[in-house]
């Protein structure tokens, strides 16, 4: 993925300088003109340059003679998600992302990503992976490779594919390897911070240590999953349901090979011939309103299932999102082996 600053050019530059940059951008040829503080001023394309030259200007002139002064952009944490969808459907491919001061903080390209979700992501990567010993003696489980890259990188890359660019990774066991591998995330055009557990805090406890989320909604995921979950559909369904928390669930069907009787104190009320029952298990991916983290105890062991229990008792809406795509929890050697085969044929 191209560094977003490749699309920026300083005001005062010449058209000749701009043409060199536009040529390097190839089919993504659009520049966003910024001042010394990266405040968005305008945009410039090949077409703008041609029109300026036709009007008698020179390639040695200042680009500000040529630029469009009111470029389209998205705001960081855009609350109206339909605006994102409309830009995409109207074939706006490359768009700057600006903060409240109109400073360009990212540039997205809808040829490279599927969406731009207004969501923070927390990846839980602090476990020891004891069931995968001896593979995890010197390597944290999230860093075990599935195909050509670590398990956790498959998760981060897919989240980034949906435009999520603010990440927190919760680390503990051999966590320095994860931090060294990803750094601050700039190589992937995302921002990564780290939450360091001094002791095990469960599947969501470490989230209580994060005080600077950028968005109203937070997605939390285990790092040892392999899935092709459509995060945009998950997010839109969360909004449509007006949920406080949504849980990705995995449907399991149980086929009973006999007739099942329904009874009351021994009296047969009904029976079903060889019924099939569907149950839903926890998939380890959650979407939560940020305000609900007030229910998390500070610095204590706390699982996502504990939060679900608390929210239900508080009358909050916890919603099940059945996943119809691929999902694998890589918890033991047989799962790890299966992942090596599946990664070659599952479309992610």
Judge contact between 248 and 224, C-beta under 8 A: no
Q: What is the pTM of this model?
A: 0.90
pLDDT digits (tens, 9 = 90+) for 239-290: 999 999 999 999 888 888 888 888 888 888 888 888 888 888 999 999 999 9
- DSSP secondary structure, 263-301, as one string: EETTEEEEEESS-EEEEEEEEEEEEEEGGGGGGSPTTS-
pLDDT at 24: 94
pLDDT at 277: 83
pLDDT at 261: 87
Asked if CATH classification 2.60.120.700 holds for the domain at 119-342, the reply, yes or no, is: no
pLDDT at 178: 97
pLDDT at 6: 94
Backbone angles phi and psi of 153, in degrees to 5: -70, -35
Is the pLDDT at 1 greater than 80? The verdict is no
Q: Which helix (H) or strand (E) holds 123?
A: strand 119-125
pLDDT at 74: 95
pLDDT at 271: 84
Q: Is the dihedral of CA 328, 334, 336, 338 positive or negative?
A: negative
Domains 4-109 and 119-342 share a fold: no
Mean pLDDT, rounded, for 2-29: 93
pLDDT at 60: 93
Mean pLDDT, rounded, for 321-338: 93
Mean pLDDT, rounded, for 321-325: 93
pLDDT digits (tens, 9 = 90+) for 139-184: 999 999 999 999 999 999 999 999 999 999 999 999 999 999 999 9
Report the distance separating Cα 6 and Cα 132, nearest Å.
Answer: 42
Angle 124-127-131 from CA coordinates, rounded to 5°: 130
Report the distance separating Cα 32 and Cα 165, nearest Å.
Answer: 20
The domain ranges of the chain are 4-109, 119-342
Is the pLDDT at 234 greater than 90? The verdict is yes
Give 318's strand partners. 245
pLDDT digits (tens, 9 = 90+) for 87-96: 999 999 999 9
More confident residue, 120 or 254: 120
Mean pLDDT, rounded, for 97-116: 95
Mean pLDDT, rounded, for 48-59: 93
Bond prior to 297 in cis (omega within 30° of 0): no
Q: Which residues contact 334 (CB under 8 A, 6 or more apart)?
A: none
For the stretch 92-99, contacts whose Cβ atoms lie closer than 8 Å and that sit 24 or more positions apart, written own/partner, are 93/28, 94/7, 94/28, 94/30, 96/7, 96/32, 96/40, 96/71, 97/73, 98/40, 98/73, 98/74, 99/75
pLDDT digits (tens, 9 = 90+) for 188-232: 999 999 999 988 899 999 999 999 999 999 999 999 999 999 999
The CATH code for residues 4-109 is: 3.10.580.10
pLDDT at 148: 92
């Amino acid at each position: 993925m191209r560094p977003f600053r490749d699309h920026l050019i300083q005001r005062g530059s010449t058209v000749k300088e701009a043409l060199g940059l536009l040529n390097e951008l190839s089919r993504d040829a659009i520049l966003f003109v910024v001042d010394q503080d990266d405040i968005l001023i305008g945009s410039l394309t090949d077409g703008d340059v041609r029109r300026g030259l036709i009007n008698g200007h020179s390639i040695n002139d200042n680009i500000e003679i040529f630029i469009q002064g009111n470029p389209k952009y998205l705001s960081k944490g855009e609350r109206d998600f339909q605006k994102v969808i409309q830009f995409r459907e109207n074939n706006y491919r490359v768009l700057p992302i600006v903060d409240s001061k109109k400073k360009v903080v990212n540039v997205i390209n809808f040829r490279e990503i599927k969406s731009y979700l207004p969501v923070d992501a927390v990846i839980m990567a602090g476990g020891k992976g004891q069931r995968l010993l001896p593979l995890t003696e010197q390597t944290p489980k999230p860093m075990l490779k599935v195909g050509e890259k670590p398990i956790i990188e498959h998760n981060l890359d897919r989240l980034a594919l949906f435009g999520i660019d603010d990440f927190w990774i919760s680390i503990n066991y051999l966590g320095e390897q994860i931090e060294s591998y990803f750094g601050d995330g700039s190589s992937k055009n995302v921002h990564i911070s780290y939450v360091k557990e001094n002791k095990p805090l469960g599947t969501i406890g470490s989230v209580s240590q994060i005080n600077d989320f950028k968005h109203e909604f937070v997605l939390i995921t285990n790092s040892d999953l392999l899935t092709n979950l459509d995060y945009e559909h998950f997010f839109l369904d969360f909004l449509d349901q007006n949920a406080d928390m949504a849980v990705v669930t995995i449907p399991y069907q149980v086929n009973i090979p006999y007739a099942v009787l329904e009874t009351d104190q021994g009296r047969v009320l009904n029976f079903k011939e060889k019924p099939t029952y569907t149950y839903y298990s926890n998939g380890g991916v959650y979407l939560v309103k940020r305000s609900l983290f007030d229910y998390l105890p500070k610095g204590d062991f706390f699982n996502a299932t504990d939060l679900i229990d608390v929210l239900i008792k508080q009358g909050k809406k916890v919603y099940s999102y059945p996943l119809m795509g691929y999902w694998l929890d890589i918890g033991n050697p047989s799962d790890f082996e299966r992942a090596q085969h599946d990664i070659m044929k599952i479309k992610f």
